[in-house]
A and B are shown apart, each in its own frame.
Chain A
């Protein structure tokens, strides 16, 4: 059954009025489709990843595939590209039944997937990367010039500005993505699948990508756009199909119907959620300073600067967002505060007490809680139980040990209390490795928040979490701020920072480019600062 009908079953039809019935007819859509699936079921041991999924993308259409983590998006795409074989169901290419026994056979049918991590060769040029493994000539000599011209022409056709001679390793992430797209287009891709393409991009780069995608659609390409960012989906896509726990939860024509982010989110999780700026702030006018950083500098082992002269303050109940593109010193900054990173110069004080460079225990004793980006492996010991992970820091304290002996019963009791309090699905003795991403993050937060910290440093706290877990994590952080903790929120997701933060500091190349109030912040200005092109004025109100 098609998505529209499944909407009807769940009584959501009224929210998605059907304007153009002819195109919504499953048979018509199937006949016009570039790539389609009917009744796809795929089970893995213990989980049904796809349950009778219908899906199709038309020629000249950008079609969003929306769903929470674990909703079966990836499995569906792997079936469509020949990585997996469906247990049941049929794939159609150009409206005709077909099979893709191998990835190569899907590729021959013009289906190309752009993954999140690129497969590019750094030292080679853009043009060389595009034709790598696809040199359509029997000539022993590689005609570089000709290839460069071809690649340039292809880029121009799709409105992509890129120098075919540039070395790939010197390109930005956004440009590398263009190379991946060109690779697909040059090889005659008719259907492109993009797996969460904007997670690594700045707002400007994302805009350019959207423009390129629209151009491709105009040229008759079919584009499948996997995402869980609702606003971009409504910005760039013609159609959206929503998956919920392996089942098609609905489909909407975004061009004909006015569908807003709220109702899409509702389809994804099957209930109302709020995606709007927090109403409460823990920040009071007379709040004291918790975190004070002065002239923080650090260099890496090669002698190049990682952090440059960072000075900022965070007050009680305040959430300071650190915005920036991944890999611009966020990690070193967070680890400097947590005592994991050795810094050369500068001073970090928490409630007046100076931290010492590379001294984790000093930071913990000063009341610094740290939720690292790398949850399993750094923030949690994955092969140990929940209760062992809960006591990862507190095992030294008098509540959890007497002399050299652990108080195992006290640890177990505290863990059971936290499991209930934070609604973690798992036993006190279950291994953290076996938990879902959301539950693992809750274990980490439970430990860090119950230590009653003065300062909480969180790095990309909702990355990879589904919508409902994201909501919980954000609520927990907002509550901690209301209770008076100062929070440093490091995130690549600008939307998250805008939702939660009181002020936003933008970091680029280890340097704070500027600090602005979140209320009324201009996204374009922040985006420019993320690229290091913004004004360097440091908001004096920050101090």
Chain B
């Protein structure tokens, strides 16, 4: 046995550079282990990574695809970042996004004839309202009887795709397209009118409107938290609800509004899926994408900072995009999933190192008599 003793020791102070640099360090460690895996499975890590990087960021059209993949993650990332910050474990971003998409599709189809200037804002508002409505259920039970929102939001995540599936596949509801030729082969939802398709900016690199909206929301969230009375109440309640009550802050109201706002952000993410991407409700696509869960990882990677969420979402969006475009015999989907998982694992683990450090020292030996 080595006469070395390894111990976790609580850091008395966290150096200011440590917080932002840890996730980056974690990503490098994950990439290194990923390289080992690539190497042991008979692939050249250098070409593997350069393929991924090109597919994510540098190939023609790659940035556009990455921005599109990142857009829902910006919103669900903000959902988790806002809620987790105040101790609300809202892991229902997935369901809230789906209901937001349902509400936005409803408004797009119903109000599409009024022109883009009315119907697009209406879709955003409807998406936010739909998400908030799905968040109201767990928020109400948490406030009324202290029901754990982890359970309720998780269960509602299973309920949302069932509801969407019922509306589109299992019933002849208002949302289902019963007329177009394609819909006769396979059931599908009504498509929103062309006028309500969300705008795209740029020629070579097309930036979807939803991505811009996401950046705007992140900046808005940061400004509200830092400069307004409401933001101050949120930050105090997040730090110590007891101190909030003591100072006359209505902390219960703060909890509920934050819960609803966080759910509304996911709902806007759902609206952007309709307006930017699929133009009609696609229950299966939304269900398999699991944007809500990836959003939690994005928020952790960003350390719950709204601006960093955008960057983290872009990074993870790049991986998702590379995943989709590279999958094949050369780079199976599973392998890229492993690398993505490693990154998230190490980022989560690195949070501990912000608060603790590992101390190695020689075991003290009895003095020579």
Do A381 and B239 form a contact, CB below 8 Å, given A45-B12, A340-B246, A393-B248?
A: yes
Stretch from B31-39, B230-238, B267-275 at the A interface: B230-238
B245 within 8 A of A: yes
B240-273 toward A: CB 8 Å interface, digit per residue (1/0)? Answer: 1011111110000000000000000000000000
**Contact status A338-B240, CB under 8 Å:** no
Complex interface: chain A residues within 8 A of B184 (CB): none
Among residues of A, the one whose C-beta sits closest to the C-beta of B369 is A97
**Contact status B232-A395, CB under 8 Å:** yes
A359-391 toward B: CB 8 Å interface, digit per residue (1/0)? Answer: 011001000001010100111111110001001
Closest chain-A Cβ to B224's Cβ sits at a distance in Å of 9
A377 CA to B245 CA, complexed, in Å: 11
Complex interface: chain B residues within 8 A of A377 (CB): 240, 242-243
Complex interface: chain B residues within 8 A of A360 (CB): 245-248
A45 CA to B11 CA, complexed, in Å: 9
Closest chain-A Cβ to B238's Cβ sits at a distance in Å of 8
Among residues of B, the one whose C-beta sits closest to the C-beta of A389 is B243
Among residues of B, the one whose C-beta sits closest to the C-beta of A46 is B12
**Contact status B245-A388, CB under 8 Å:** no
Complex interface: chain B residues within 8 A of A85 (CB): 364
Do A370 and B246 form a contact, CB below 8 Å, given A383-B239, A384-B239?
A: yes
B330 within 8 A of A: no
**Contact status A396-B236, CB under 8 Å:** no
**Contact status B12-A379, CB under 8 Å:** no
Do A381 and B12 form a contact, CB below 8 Å, given A392-B236, A404-B228, A404-B229?
A: no
**Contact status B232-A388, CB under 8 Å:** yes
A21 within 8 A of B: no
Do A338 and B229 form a contact, CB below 8 Å, given A383-B240, A384-B239?
A: no
Complex interface: chain A residues within 8 A of B232 (CB): 388, 391, 395, 406
**Contact status B243-A381, CB under 8 Å:** yes
A486-499 toward B: CB 8 Å interface, digit per residue (1/0)? Answer: 00000000000000
A381 CA to B249 CA, complexed, in Å: 13
What bracket does the count of chain A residues touching chain B fall in? 20 to 34
A330-347 toward B: CB 8 Å interface, digit per residue (1/0)? Answer: 000000001110000000
Complex interface: chain B residues within 8 A of A338 (CB): 246
**Contact status A392-B247, CB under 8 Å:** yes
Q: Which residues B140-187 have CB closer than 8 A to chain A?
A: none
A384 CA to B232 CA, complexed, in Å: 10
A541 within 8 A of B: no
B227 within 8 A of A: yes
Complex interface: chain B residues within 8 A of A381 (CB): 236, 239-240, 243-244
Closest chain-A Cβ to B248's Cβ sits at a distance in Å of 4
Among residues of B, the one whose C-beta sits closest to the C-beta of A393 is B247
B13 within 8 A of A: yes
Interface centre among B230, B245, B246 (most CB of A within 10 A): B246
Do A405 and B228 form a contact, CB below 8 Å, given A340-B245, A379-B243, A384-B236?
A: yes
A339 CA to B13 CA, complexed, in Å: 36
Complex interface: chain B residues within 8 A of A339 (CB): 248
Task: Other than A393-B247, A401-B229, A404-B228, give 10 A-B pairs with Cβ distance below 8 A.
Answer: A370-B246, A377-B242, A382-B239, A384-B235, A388-B232, A388-B235, A392-B243, A393-B248, A405-B227, A406-B228
**15 A-B contacts, Cβ less than 8 Å apart?**
A85-B364, A361-B248, A374-B242, A377-B240, A378-B240, A380-B243, A381-B239, A381-B243, A381-B244, A388-B235, A391-B232, A392-B243, A404-B230, A406-B229, A434-B13
